[in-house]
């Protein structure tokens, strides 16, 4: 499963070097996951209201080229693996044909009390 979103770099996402601060890529990845859920008919806000909270277990990013304010980026997100306990994603940030950054994450699912729970069926079947 794969999904793609467009991201326009916002001014406040750049830092003193004039480039997108590296921590902001993780915010882009989060946005991509939410949009990917939307694309299969799942509303993450609604999931949280039902007590299904996705938490990041681990995440990483490798940066090849900087992104700047005004850049139009394309973020491709891929589901790599789905088990009852974990969701693995890969992320690829492009400007045109240039790959700017590449990331990976593993998510788990918790209840409102913070206890790990099985990934719910509604998520499993749509990934």
Report in angstroms how near the CB of residue 76 gets to its own copies at its nearest.
Answer: 19
CA-CA distance, 21 to 15, in Å (whole number)?
A: 5
The answer to whether the CB of 11 falls within 8 A of the CB of 58 is no
- Looking at the annotation, which residues are catalytic? 15
Residue 118 binds to its own copies (criterion: CB under 8 A):
no
Q: Tell whether residue 63 is a contact of its own copies (CB under 8 A).
A: yes
* Helix residue spans in the chain (DSSP H): 24-39, 44-49, 121-124
Q: How many residues does the chain have?
A: 127
Does residue 81 interact with its own copies by CB under 8 A?
no
Q: Is 77 in the site for its own copies (CB under 8 A)?
A: no
**Pick from 21, 74, 78, 86: which binds its own copies (CB under 8 A)?**
21
Out of 46, 81, 98, 116, point to the residue binding its own copies (CB under 8 A): 46
Q: Taking the complex as a whole, how short is the minimal distance between the CB of residue 125 and its own copies, in angstroms?
A: 22
């Amino acid at each position: 499963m794969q999904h793609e979103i467009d991201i326009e770099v916002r001014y406040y996402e750049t830092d003193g070097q004039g480039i997108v601060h590296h921590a902001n890529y993780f915010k882009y990845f989060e946005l991509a996951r939410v949009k990917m859920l939307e694309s299969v008919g799942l509303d993450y806000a609604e999931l949280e209201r039902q007590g299904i909270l996705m938490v990041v277990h681990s995440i990483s990013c490798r940066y090849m080229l900087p992104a700047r304010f005004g850049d139009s980026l394309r973020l491709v997100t891929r589901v790599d693996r789905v088990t009852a306990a974990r969701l693995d994603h890969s992320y690829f940030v492009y400007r045109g044909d240039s790959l700017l950054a590449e990331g990976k994450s593993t998510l788990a699912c918790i209840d409102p009390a913070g206890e790990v729970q099985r990934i719910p069926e509604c998520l499993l079947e749509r990934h």
